[in-house]
Structure 1
Amino acid sequence: MLGLTGEVEPFDAHQPEGDLEDLRARLAAARLPEAETVARAGPKADRWGQGVPLTDLVDLATYWRTAYSWRSFEERLNRIGQFRTTIDGLGIHFLHRRSPRADATPLIMTHGWPGSIAEFIDVVDELADPKRPDVPAFHVVVPSLPGFGFSEKPATTGWGAGRIAAAWVTLMERLGYGTFVAHGGDWGGVVTTVLGGRFPEQVLGIHTTLAQPPPGLTMDGLSSAERRWAEETRDFWLHHAAYAKQQATRPQTIGYSLVDSPIGLLAWILDKFADWTDTDDGPFETVSIDRVLDDVTLYWLTRTGASAARIYFESHGGVNAVDPELVVDVPSAISVYPRDIEKCPRTWAQERYRQIVRWSEPEAGGHFPSLEVPEYFVTDLQDGLAAVLAAHR
């Protein structure tokens, strides 16, 4: 049990074998719907038109039940280094990989939904101890968002992006990092923007793959490419965001399915990995099957399907969302991946991020770049944060 003393305690991930046996039993006894009534062949736009195709789900569930190794993932987490501490009355879990380099800079990396700390385990080592001596090294901290993974589930409302950002400042101070840089995408990008805007004394600068423009901007003056980005983002929120509306308005209702049914949880998350990656026919063209199952299994074993969904309830358009007037004056590096779900034109980004020191438009990658294009992601993050740090010299 965690006390209220602010101590940082080592944490080892080891789920009871009975929980894994229960998972396999539930998968074996799953009740499945009939196949989708769309074309069985062709591009993703057809085959995935009603969501996760039955054949794909069955194949993945079979692998999950018979071949996937949760213990291997546990071992990876334990090798990186896991800890927990209590902040603002809530137990927060995090990975912490210190760099051997004397010139390393503290870095906090925040995941989103339906991601988790699994998004970053393949890039932590290279960020902490890069092979090239001419790139920056980092003391890497990767917390689990409240209600996600091994962090505790909030019992009351209020844990939106603003409160999370404040908790991250406390976490870094507790680790001895008075100043630091921050990275995030998805909800992690929202938290990172709040960090840069509200805590400029502690945050040296930020890197994000999900820039947050102020509301109400017009398309006047945008280039044709920027206009296309804005139109694609608008189309996403109009036609592909039912999941967000559900989780923002009725997280408890969908939560019963996500906590009680591993098949329901798998389909709910797999649908997003398929739709948001830079692929043609499913996410596994670029993302490891095991890494997706690491993510889904983490949600399952910690029973966080409902509690994680509530971040939408807490932050979408409410008092805990990004302040429309928030300005980020610290140096900012922004990367816009071509198949991400929201792509912010630079003209719009400059209305909030007043000191953009690096702007990157990668040629490949989607919403999960650390999983889709990990080598490029690391290089892009190193270069972006190098520009951030150079702005202080």
Structure 2
Amino acid sequence: MNVHDFRIDVPAVVIEDLRDRLRGTRWPDQVEGVGWGQGTEREFLREVVAHWGHNFDWFAVQDRLNHCAQRLVEVSGGLRVHVVHERGEVEGGQPIVLLHGWPSSFVQMLPIMPMLTQPSRYGGSAGDAFDAVALSLPGYGFSDRPTDAGWDLRRIADAVVEVMEALGYTTFAGRGSDLGAGVLQQLALAYPDRLVGLHLSGTNPYLGWVPDDLTPEEQSFVEAAQDWNAREMAYAQEHSSKPQTLAHALNDSPAGLASWVLEKFRAWSDCDGDLRNVYDLDDLLTNLTVYWVTETIGSSMRLYWEAARSTNAAYGRVEVPTGMAMSDKDMFPTPRAWAERSYRLTRWTKLQRGGHFLEWETPEPLAEDIRVFFRELRTARLEG
């Protein structure tokens, strides 16, 4: 069997080393009054590092995570993929794979999993229950780090199909954002018969070829994307060109890791400039600690390098029925007309709150939109 039960078991010496490094952080200077204008604000990061090093209880978090049903699934080439696999309250529920992006991890999906698997506890119908699979992308979290080149979005899409088959699902639904949405796009193009539908969110700043028949709303979107790329895209350029250079620093310094990751959470979330308006600090530190103890910051960034050099990516318009839950508080607003150029949209929801990490920021409305979308698809299939 290539499916094995898994429990997180981080050695105490790893956590003590983390705390020692946090306590020994060597702080840079900062221009007076600049705030976040030049990047991560020092005093905020001091607070984070102090809490991480002195108050954050990883082992209590580890115990809570281990209450989830976790598996390691071996795919072609021997790489093991970590999943949290929770079955729905009704036998035979719709299977759904949940895919995160960067700088996130499988823990982003945990808030909505009970809302999908046990909907009757959250004001929904038991008939909408899913079998939910939160999958850690290869090179992220407790999935193995690829040791060979070529693990691009398409190859990961192949692995997702293998994982779902190993868990007993030949067809399934997909939910994702960021790089996870990119994997699902590749899966939908390469294996359309495997997917009953896609549910996506998140602005994509990669424009690629820009058509010459833009609507005024699309033209505004392209201009916003170009402006965002000029101001905010340096991180992705580094990931895509020299990820190993940065990996040496971030794999060695937890304060550096926190600075690199939390600046993106602040910039991409609907938090009015203060992460504490949206997130519990321990949730952010859980995500950071997963990166630290698995030493996956380097392999996670390497996915950008792989995507930029992919030679086997599928291209075309996705014809799998797709629903999108979109927020104008993400990087910048995306018009429906632009999304329809790439996807067969059958549902489009404008969310009033939330940014790039909706499973964390607004789990209840997101879970409800997922349930409604796939219920509509089931009804349409029955009527058809």
TM-score between both structures, scaled by the size of structure 2: 0.93
Whole-angstrom distance in 1 between the partners of 2:130 and 2:179: 22
Q: 2: distance between equivalents of 1:69 and 1:319?
A: 44
User: What is the CA distance between 1:272 and its match in structure 2?
Assistant: 0.3
For 2:255, the equivalent position in structure 1 comes to 263
Q: Tell me which residue corresponds to 2:36.
A: 48
**1:108 touches 1:182 (CA, 8 Å); kept in 2?**
yes
In 1: Cα distance, 2:309 partner to 2:172 partner: 28
Measure how far apart 1:134 and its partner are. 6.2
Q: Structure 1 residue 12 and structure 2 residue 7: aligned?
A: yes
Deviations 1:187-244 (A, max 9, x none): 00101111222211111110111476984233744244x4433322222222101110
Segment drifting more, 121-130 vs 279-288? 279-288
Moved more, 142-151 or 95-104: 95-104
Report the residue type matching 2:13 in the other structure.
Answer: G
1:297, CA displacement in angstroms? Answer: 0.6
Is residue 113–residue 132 contact of structure 2 (8 Å, CA) maintained in 1?
Answer: yes
Which residue in the other structure is 2:158 paired with? Answer: 166
Q: Which residue identity does 1:340 align to in structure 2? A: D
Contact 2:22 2:49 (8 Å CA) reproduced:
yes
Query: CA separation in 2, counterparts of 1:36 and 1:389?
Result: 57
For structure 2, the 5+ residue unaligned runs are none
Aligned-pair distance for 1:335?
1.8
Larger displacement relative to structure 2 (189-198 or 23-32): 189-198
Equivalent position SS for 2:319: coil
Aligned partner of 1:23 among 6, 15, 18: 18
1:115 aligned residue: 104
User: Which consecutive residues of structure 1, in runs of 5 or more, have no partner in the other structure?
Assistant: 1-5, 40-46
**Correspondence list, 1:132-281, <5 A:** 132-133=124-125, 136-210=128-202, 215-218=208-211, 220-224=213-217, 226-281=218-273
Q: CA deviation at 1:123?
A: 1.3
Report how far residue 371 of structure 1 moved: 0.9
Give the deviation of 1:150 after TM superposition: 0.6
Q: Tell me, in whole angstroms, the C-alpha distance in 2 between the residues paired with 1:95 and 1:186.
A: 19
Q: Which amino acid aligns with 1:351?
A: R
Cα distance, 1:143 vs structure 2: 1.1
* Preserved CA contact (<8 Å) 1:333 1:388: no
Contact 2:325–2:366, Cα closer than 8 Å, also in 1: no
Q: Does structure 1 residue 293 correspond to structure 2 residue 264?
A: no
8 Å contact kept, 1:111–1:188: yes
**Counterpart in the other structure of 1:79:** 67
Deviations 1:227-270 (A, max 9, x none): 43332222222210111000110010000011100001000001
Which residue of 1 is the match for residue 79 of structure 2? 90
Q: Which of 292, 304, 319 is matched with 2:311 structurally? A: 319
Shift of 1:326: 2.0
Question: Are the equivalent residues in 2 in contact too, given 1:182–1:207 (CA < 8 A)?
Answer: yes
Shift of 1:112: 0.4
Q: What is the CA distance between 1:136 and its match in structure 2?
A: 1.5
2:274 is the counterpart of 1:282: yes
Shift of 1:48: 1.3
Distance 2:127 2:69 in 1: 23
Structure 1 pair 338–219 and aligned structure 2 pair: CA distance change class (3 A): farther
Aligned equivalent of 2:56, options 24, 44, 68: 68
| Separation (CA, whole Å) in 1 of partners of 2:241 and 2:110 | 32
- 1:327-347, CA deviations, whole angstroms, 9 ceiling, x for partnerless residues? 211111012221222644222
Percent of aligned pairs with the same amino acid: 33
CA pair 141-36 structure 1, distance change in 2 beyond 3 A: farther
Per the alignment, residue 34 of structure 1 pairs with 29
| Counterpart-to-counterpart distance in 1, 2:99 and 2:316 | 19
- Structure 2 residue matching 1:336: 3-state secondary structure: strand
Structure 1 partner of 2:45 = 57
Letter in 2 for 1:31: R
- Pick which of 278-287 and 357-366 moved more: 278-287
Contact 2:207 2:225 in 1 (8 A): no
TM-score (norm 1): 0.91
Counterpart CA distance in 2 for 1:253 and 1:372 is: 32
Contact 1:12 1:78 (C-alpha < 8 Å) held by counterparts? yes
Separation (CA, whole Å) in 2 of partners of 1:240 and 1:209: 19
Count of aligned pairs between the two proteins: 377
The amino acid across from 2:4 in the alignment is: E
Cα distance in 1, alignment partners of residues 170 and 151 from structure 2: 23
Distance in 1 (CA, whole Å) between partners of 2:103 and 2:62 is: 19
d(CA) in 2 for partners of 1:83, 1:134:
25
Give matches, 1:322-361, under 5 Å: 322-323=313-314, 325-341=315-331, 343-353=333-343, 355-361=344-350
- How well do the aligned residues superpose, as a CA RMSD in angstroms? 1.9
2-structure distance, mates of 1:246, 1:18: 32
* 3-state SS of 2:66 partner: helix
Residues 342 and 141 (structure 1), Cα distance of their counterparts in 2 relative to 1, 3 Å cut: farther
> Residue 144 of structure 1 contacts residue 150 of structure 1 at CA under 8 Å; is this kept in 2?
yes
What is the identity, as a one-letter code, of the residue corresponding to 1:35?
Q
Distance, in Å, in 2 between the alignment partners of 1:177 and 1:302 is 28
